[in-house]
Chains A and B, each alone.
Chain A
Amino acid sequence: MKEEAIKDLLYKIADDQLILGHRNSEWTGLGPILEEDIAFSSMAQDKIGHSLAFYTLLHELGEAEPDLLAFSRSATQFHNSQFTELPNGEFDYSLIRHFLYDNAEAIRFEKLSHSGYEPIAKVATKLKGEIKYHVLHANTWIRNLGSSTEEAISRLQNSLNSLMPYALGMFELSVYEQVLIDTGIYAGEEAIKEEWLTRIQQVLASTELTMPDIPSQTPMLGGRYGTHTKHLQPLLNEMAEVIKIDPTAEW
């Protein structure tokens, strides 16, 4: 029971990072300024590197090799939130997702660094410093653009409104939620969500953007249980395109 719970937790964290890292990497060569091209690429490398660290923990618990876990499962076997798999859209959309996601991830990692499950605590402690920079980057950009031109403000507001239900889907409860909390492995999604709302609200308050009304939102759930949008399977097909040419070869 406990081991299943830990695996479930590791899968959702690793899958979120792999899929969002993939999306971030799609900005390579296409950023609005060279500096952002580089920033998104750098965050993509961190995310994908972090997912590898968590797949490695899964492998140590008897799951397949990281390359197999990442490159050979189908969409229904992925536990990422639907939020991370949505196509990039324009820069405002990607930036809002980055802001909402990384603020949540920073909290998740801070809590995980005190996890009662030693291997997770170790990895989270090592990686949370990098995530701090992602949050700093996101918050700076939101503060900047969120009080700049009318166009920028209205773009960001629209993206914020349309992404909020998906962002709330990140906090979908696991069937193991209570076990994880009781055993001191994980703080649980509700606790993370509450803190996240406060932090998001704080940043938005320093801009001309308005926090969407949370109680009236319908969170987009299902991702943690393998229900995904139509966008995930094509992403996974693309990721596996080369490896599938000769799956037994070393590349």
Chain B
Amino acid sequence: MYGGGNTFEAIKAEGLEEEDARKMAEFEGRIAQGEKIEPDDWMPRLYRQQLIRMIEQHAHSEIIGALPEGTWITRAPGFRRKLALMAKVQDEVGHAQLLYSAAETLGKSREEMLTDLINGKSKYSNVFNYPTYTWADSCIISWLIDAGAIVNQMANSKGSYGPYCRALERICAEEAFHLKYGHDSVVYMATGSSIQRQMVQEALNRWWSQIMTFFGPSDKLSVHTETLMRWKVKMASNDECRQQYLDMYVPKILELGLTIPDPLLKKNEDTGQWEYTEPDWDEFRRVINGDGPCNAERLGVRRMAEERGAWVRLALKNPTAKYVRPLA
């Protein structure tokens, strides 16, 4: 799912002047040469903070993203789709596991991160604050949201922090299967019976604005990201990702006979850029700050899972346990 790279709070490039100038120069030099930064290496505080926030948000997006799709596992139509969707959602939870481990190398524990998720202190991809009304919504997510995630994640896998890059490489390989599954399930509906075609068109209509906001606010509205670009924390601007995505997927959507619910969407042949109706960024901000159709439900489910599982985690920690756990 979601590839990080867009954190939604303003970045304050503060405290940089307090960093050791010589170490900073060496650090920036290594990054400029394409070297990876590893957990034990020196790094500026801002770099560490920003990476934790980004990787953590990415991990949260994987487990929260498992909810709107996971709810369709028990209802998936037929063995083939059911088995594929189960495997896909399982992968997403596995991605969360990989990413929490990557973030832990920077000094924040998985438990602290999950606590911050439940408290609403740390964010996750905003698209999951919208509901999946029908099976078709889950297919659209598997195809077109995962496609967006790949664009993001491919860019970020070329970033500077070693553990995150390595996690992303594994994740991208699996995402390619998700995309295949998602595309196939949409193809069957878009070329299927009239009921199916209507279902999938309606789902696309519902999800288009979420797809357009997936890469984060327009560069015009975005906060200053020069430092993060130089440090290869952020690898491509939001608008660059969005343009690349539209180039790749608009033709594929239209090819299926679906219509995209934006009358202004077209490629300007002179500039080579897509033009579109600007998404409602006010709504985006409102929703990401808690006031969306599913925010309370998603966090509520997560909180319930954490609370109901508390005794298990406690029992695993119990030092008086007689049984010696196998190492594997």
Partner of B308 from A90, A249, A250 at Cβ < 8 Å: A90
Let me know if A41 and B312 touch, CB within 8 A.
Answer: no
Interface size class of B (residues with CB under 8 A): 35 or more
A38 to B91, CA, bound (A): 8
Interface size class of A (residues with CB under 8 A): 35 or more
**A175 → chain B closest CB, angstroms:** 29
Residues of B within 8 A of A1 (CB): none
Residues of A within 8 A of B316 (CB): 33, 144-145, 148
Let me know if B77 and A242 touch, CB within 8 A.
Answer: yes
Partner of B196 from A25, A28, A249 at Cβ < 8 Å: A249
**A87 → chain B closest CB, angstroms:** 12
Partner of B314 from A37, A42, A149, A207 at Cβ < 8 Å: A149
Let me know if B94 and A31 touch, CB within 8 A.
Answer: no
Supposing A25-B86, A30-B305, A251-B188 touch, asked if A239 and B311 sit within 8 A by C-beta, the answer is no
**A219 → chain B closest CB, angstroms:** 28
Residues of A within 8 A of B90 (CB): 28, 38, 41-42, 45
Please tell me if B268 contacts chain A, counting CB pairs below 8 Å.
Answer: no
Let me know if B97 and A35 touch, CB within 8 A.
Answer: yes
**A201 → chain B closest CB, angstroms:** 17
Residues of B within 8 A of A34 (CB): 63, 93, 96-97, 100
Please tell me if B82 contacts chain A, counting CB pairs below 8 Å.
Answer: yes
**Nearest B residue to A153 by beta-carbon distance?**
B315
Let me know if A38 and B78 touch, CB within 8 A.
Answer: no
**What would 12 more interface pairs be, CB under 8 Å, given A29-B63, A235-B74, A246-B195?**
A25-B86, A32-B310, A34-B63, A36-B312, A42-B90, A48-B86, A66-B79, A152-B311, A152-B315, A246-B192, A249-B195, A251-B192
Q: Which residues of A are in contact with B by a Cβ distance under 8 Å?
A: 22, 25-26, 28-38, 41-42, 44-45, 48-49, 52, 66-67, 70-71, 90-91, 140, 143-149, 151-152, 155, 206-207, 235, 238-239, 241-243, 245-246, 248-251
